[in-house]
Structure 1
Amino acid sequence: MTAATTRSGASPTAFVTLPDALNADVQEWYRWFHRHPELSYEEFGTTARIREILESHGVEILESGLRTGVVAIVRGASAKPVIALRGDIDGLPITENTGLDYASDNTGVMHGCGHDFNLTVALGAAILLNERRASLPGTVKIIFQPAEEGRATAERPTGSVQVLNTGVLDDVEAFFGTHDAAGPVGSILIREGGITGAVDKFQVAIHGKGAHAAEPEDGIDPITVLTNVVQGLQAVIGRNLDPCHPRVLSVTHIEAGNSWNVIPQDAFFEGTVRTTEPQDRVLAKKRAIAIINNTAAAYGATADVSWFFGSPSVFNDAGWTRIGREVIAEQGLHADDDHPQLGGEDFSYYLDRKPGLFVHIGAGETGAAHGPTFRPNPAAIGYGIRFLTAIAQKALNELR
């Protein structure tokens, strides 16, 4: 059952409170995770600490085969439906400069994107849901996912793909995730449709004919071809795609020649395209390749184009977005409209599998993400826990 067929007019979700004792524990856990960041697929200490906390609260852990990361389960009064919640756990190769008394103890590594925040939200929700399991009309799996930040390759996929590949989530009907963001504490930033960029990469080799720089008529200058292609590619963004949709095409690396008086035979460039709408992603590739090949042919050159589809856009289902807004209102939280941004987020792979919702938790003036001074306000963690717990309960009731 997808969100499009969930029941309308369902009873409001009971108000979720965070007990003072649990809130104190949550703050302590967050500080520990912030002090002990670990890079993608190296989150061994983080994984051990998550397991320790879950086991101390009686939360069952599934055998997933993951080297790092954890998948926990809360079994309610019935086996189905099954939903999943996700918090990512890895840090970044950044030297922290926040001045916090709980700053990173791991030199050169910090939680510069707030995954310590996200995993703590998921921990709190897992514990609250486990305490309420007798009243849950279904099953909740909680994913503590490794390697959201890691550079993905075929041999070393991004963390969400690795978790999905274990098969432990094959029965999940809807996915829900949160991430900290700049915004008022107590606010939930929510939006239907695409909210992050699909991450696509292109590499282009232009093949011309080398010649002496003083005798260009004897050659085919690949640099001239390259510069015209680079300019022409901006027509994809400005003239081919819907101007109301977020999108960008950036050429980020160019190489050609090795001497001041020689026209080289070949030139190379690469870059990225980011789109939020699936149809724009397909059209951008089609038009870009046509411009590259036709421009090269116009100069008598040829081009070899390699196009790599990375993570898709996080695309929030309309029905689950509506339900998310209901939960925000029922919990006395404040809904703000989220703004699409074109960075990548591998939660998208879960939503490629099944529909769901990804929201941002307002965490104050955080500073620039992926920067050395990034510091979300930990007072916002409780609001994230309340939202994630409440939407899990509501989702189970909607799907049963």
Structure 2
Amino acid sequence: MSESAFEQSLLEHYRWFHRHPEPSYEEHTTTARIRRILESHGIEILNTGLKTGLVAVIRGAQPGPVIALRGDIDGLPITENTGLPYASEHAGYMHGCGHDFNLTVALGAAIELQAVRNTLAGTVKVIFQPAEEGRATEERPTGAVQVLNTGALDDVQAFFGTHDAPGEVGAIYIKEGGTSGAVDKFAITVTGHGTHAAEPTKGDDVIVAAAAIVQSLQTVVSRSLDPVHPAVLSVTHIEAGNTWNVLPSTAFLEGTVRTTERADRQIAKDRAVRIVENTAAAYGVNADVQWFFGSPSVDNDPHWAAVGREIAAETGLETRPGWADLGGEDFSYYLDRAPGLFVRIGAGDTNAPHGPTFAPDPHGIISGVRFLTAIAQHALAELNETTPTHSRPICRTICTSN
């Protein structure tokens, strides 16, 4: 099949996936479609026990190292308003972040690698991951942790993944180090003695204390973290009282902290907890702080970032400097297991992701396929010559504490 015909077939697959979005943990039709396409190309699918999503495997003619490629597959609960001829047919849901784009890139790479498997020394596992967007709990962790907990990736020595992004169509955006935000949540309950609003000296004003806590928390980023490191703390929810003339006995606030540097993550927590507790004490009230560690920052390995730039150039692809943003991305869990690289693929002026008008240009997909295919071949060749020494231990379940 010529590249143009191959690209056309991928675009047809992409449009089908775009028309049939499914939410996290419910990607049954999507999984079945991916399975059929892979099996039609003779690609083996591992028995992982996953309810949705799957892991395919391409076995080279010779034994060797094991690497993995990843595409995510879930959609979002958003009503699409793009006007595309292949718009969502699933009312109330759309691929509003481009996971249809990402999974098609991984699908294309799997097909390409299967076609040249006789030239490979080693194994490539291709992850079609569910629930990247899902709200993670200990009982039902994020999709990356679910896949890792199957044990199917225990032998993987390097992970590679892509995601669509605003930018020049087909360009490869690469950055070493932290590229996404560690996703941490806090919940604070302030308690005191309620009283009549006309007699504040007979009780405690938890609302004033909560307001002071909100203001003081803003110094966590501005005064406790390195100013050149991307980070943000946002209080997103406040509740207190239920009438106009009573000072309540409790106030509740919650929010999130996002950091890209590992050290900053712990510093932010420690500083925030001290601020909350000491501010509450200054106002004569009590404060209980609960802290929840979610997915870490995607931490691209500098070596594989350099390799990625070289491979892109050799493959005739344009490269651009990548960037860090503070949105969460659970590919980070794979990079906690072994080093690797997560790149962005330019998809034009996409409008804001997680919005009803989000529409990446699918003509960037073939660049992603070429990049993943080429870096997979290079990684197998390189790892056949060296033994990696910088693997990291896996977080086996959703991280809720350090």
TM-score by length of 2: 0.94
Residue identity (%): 68
1:326 match: 310
Q: Is 1:127 paired with 2:111?
A: yes
Structure 1 pair 298/351, CA: closer, same or farther in 2 (3 Å)?
same
Aligned pairs, number: 384
Contact 2:170 2:365 (C-alpha < 8 Å) held by counterparts: no
Shift of 1:21: 2.5
1:237 match: 221
Report SS of the residue matched to 1:271.
Answer: strand
Find 2:232's aligned residue among 248, 256, 265: 248
Find 1:398's aligned residue among 364, 382, 397: 382
1:149 match: 133
Q: Map 1:75-224; keep pairs closer than 5 Å.
A: 75-224=59-208
- Separation in 2, partners of 1:54, 1:317: 30
- Separation in 2, partners of 1:370, 1:224: 35
Q: Is 1:314 paired with 2:295?
A: no
2:25 match: 41
Question: For residue 138 of structure 2, what is the amino acid of its counterpart?
Answer: A
Shift of 1:352: 1.0
Find 2:372's aligned residue among 388, 393, 396: 388
Contact 1:207 1:303 (C-alpha < 8 Å) held by counterparts: yes
Q: Map 1:232-381; keep pairs closer than 5 Å.
A: 232-381=216-365
Report SS of the residue matched to 1:79.
Answer: strand
- Separation in 2, partners of 1:122, 1:269: 41
Shift of 1:134: 1.0
Shift of 1:79: 2.9
Shift of 1:338: 1.3
Question: For residue 244 of structure 1, what is the amino acid of its counterpart?
Answer: V
Report SS of the residue matched to 1:80.
Answer: strand
Question: For residue 113 of structure 2, what is the amino acid of its counterpart?
Answer: L
Shift of 1:18: 6.5
Question: For residue 126 of structure 1, what is the amino acid of its counterpart?
Answer: A
TM-score by length of 1: 0.94
Deviations 1:39-61 (A, max 9, x none): 11111111111011001111111
Shift of 1:186: 2.4
Contact 1:59 1:73 (C-alpha < 8 Å) held by counterparts: yes
Structure 2 portions without partners, runs of 5+? 385-402
Shift of 1:78: 2.8
| Structure 1 vs Structure 2 CA RMSD | 1.1
- Separation in 2, partners of 1:172, 1:284: 32
Contact 1:222 1:266 (C-alpha < 8 Å) held by counterparts: yes
- Separation in 2, partners of 1:234, 1:176: 36
Structure 1 pair 157/133, CA: closer, same or farther in 2 (3 Å)?
same
- Separation in 2, partners of 1:343, 1:79: 38
Shift of 1:154: 1.0
Structure 1 portions without partners, runs of 5+? 1-16
Question: For residue 37 of structure 2, what is the amino acid of its counterpart?
Answer: I
Report SS of the residue matched to 1:254.
Answer: strand
Instruction: Answer with 138-147 or 216-225: which moved more.
Output: 216-225
- Separation in 2, partners of 1:341, 1:399: 30
- Separation in 2, partners of 1:27, 1:389: 17
Question: For residue 345 of structure 1, what is the amino acid of its counterpart?
Answer: E
Report SS of the residue matched to 2:218.
Answer: helix
Q: Is 1:31 paired with 2:15?
A: yes
Contact 1:246 1:275 (C-alpha < 8 Å) held by counterparts: yes
Report SS of the residue matched to 2:62.
Answer: coil
